[in-house]
Amino acid sequence: MKVVIAMDSFKGSLSSMAAGRAAREGVLRACPNAEVIVRPLADGGEGTVDALVEGLNGQMASVQVTGPLGAPVESHYGILADGVAVMEMASACGLTLVPLERRDPRLTTTYGLGEMILDALERGCRSFIIGIGGSATNDGGIGMLSALGVRFLTAAGACAGMDGKAAARVEKIDVSHADPRLAQCSFRIACDVESPLCGPSGASHVYGMQKGATPEIAAELDAGLAHFAAVVRKTLGKDMADQAGAGAAGGLGYGFASFLPAELVPGTALVLDAIHLEEDFAGADFAITGEGCLDFQTAMGKAPSGVARLARQCGVITLAFAGTVGQGAAAVHQSGVDAYFPILQAPSTRAEAMDTKCAYQNLAASVEQVFRLIAAERAR
């Protein structure tokens, strides 16, 4: 019997790999001779770096960069065993780095993300996986690209700036000073946002409010990004403003797509490709996935449903385990989950259930009982 495990984290309780190890323990208690493979799982958002570094034998790297408001911040990213750099832009310019009373997307910058990329280049990385959720910014990627050597100038030849207001000032773009190592790179951007750069469904109007914009500020920023896109189109001959995902992270998706060898990819699909899960499914009998709370949202593109869809395509039965099962959980059957199971073994408080040791034991015990049933049926 071959079993492939790819569990999402049980937030506040078990990491992706800890959950995977618990599930493996349960399988092996019931089926000691089973071949069990454990892979990390994430959706490209928060926790992706930690999951991939832990699950793929990577290392963490730390670097001080320019934060979203210009002050230094300590950021971190991962370097996997194959040299791929894995980053979350929020580590350098995320919304949580900006106090509530100082949130204004006209004043924030993605410059720190560019500095993170430079640090990885210095360490020899040429392939990047970057999650761009949770941003505090609306600069169209100008800050990041400035750190990488691209010059954004006013009509008079002065620096147009590196924050959200810069886009409206840009009249000239000089890419001749961009870091030459970028031509050797590939960037896969975890992006689950389909918004274009501008307009009512664009970066500024849809996401600007949560970053501190008023409707008037959002309109100002939207006009600035439209102007910026026109200059890019005239200067570089690229028209990426309407590409799905261009509006992600305040236009950072647009900056990647227009200036760098980058591909915008749904986060879960990107992670599944990075861990080579389809290869693991070859010859597998069962896939095990799950997360802390399994409900109707799980079926709406979350990581466990991505595992289940891929498993179904490969002819593999998928079993899901969850800390709790919520409203509408049956929808996961449509995404490929053949059966799901809550792991609680006895009545408990939320705090007791989320205790790391308790959650680990509950998950291992639940998986063990399901696989004892499978083993008994196979032995008939």
Total structural domains in the chain?
2
- Domain span at 140: 48-268
Residues 220 and 314 in one domain: no
Reading the chain (380 residues) residue by residue, the pLDDT tens digits are: 999 999 999 988 999 999 999 999 999 999 999 999 999 999 888 889 999 999 999 999 999 999 999 999 999 999 999 999 999 999 999 999 999 999 999 999 999 999 999 999 999 999 999 999 999 999 999 999 999 999 999 999 999 999 999 999 999 999 999 999 999 999 999 998 889 999 999 999 999 999 999 999 999 999 999 999 999 999 999 999 999 999 999 999 999 999 999 999 999 999 999 999 999 999 999 999 999 999 998 988 789 999 999 999 999 999 999 999 999 999 999 999 999 999 999 888 989 989 999 999 999 999 999 999 999 999 88
Question: Cα 21–22–23 angle (5° rounding)?
Answer: 90
State whether the Cα torsion 279-60-108-128 is positive or negative.
negative
Domain termination site, one of 241, 268, 295: 268
Q: Six-digit token pair at 115? A: 């500095």
Q: Are residues 52 and 37 in the same domain?
A: no
Q: Are residues 9 and 69 in the same domain?
A: no
- Judgement on whether residues 54 and 34 belong to the same structural domain of the protein: no
Q: Which DSSP string do the residues of 29-74 spell out, in sequence order? A: HH-TT-EEEEEE---SSTTHHHHHHHHTT-EEEEEEEE-TTSSEEE
User: Which residues fall within 8 angstroms of residue 319, CB to CB, at 6 or more apart?
Assistant: 286, 287, 288, 289, 337, 338, 339, 340, 341, 370
Is 281 in a helix, a strand, or coil? Answer: coil
> Do 254 and 358 belong to one domain?
no
Q: Return the CATH number at 365.
A: 3.40.50.10350
Q: Which amino acid is at 254?
A: Y
Regarding whether 312 and 227 lie in a shared domain, the answer is no
User: Do 26 and 87 have their domain in common?
Assistant: no
Residues 152 and 264 occupy one common structural domain: yes
Are 53 and 15 found together in one domain?
Answer: no
Q: Are 131 and 88 in contact (CB under 8 A)?
A: yes
Strand partners, 188: 129, 263
For residues 10 and 122, membership in a common domain is answered with: no
Domain's final residue, options 240, 268, 296: 268
Torsion angle, CA of 366/367/370/374, rounded to 10 degrees? -160
Domain check: are 55 and 35 in the same one? no
Same domain, 19 and 118: no
- Do 316 and 287 meet the contact criterion of CB atoms below 8 Å apart? yes
**Given 268, 296, 323, which residue is the final one in a domain?**
268
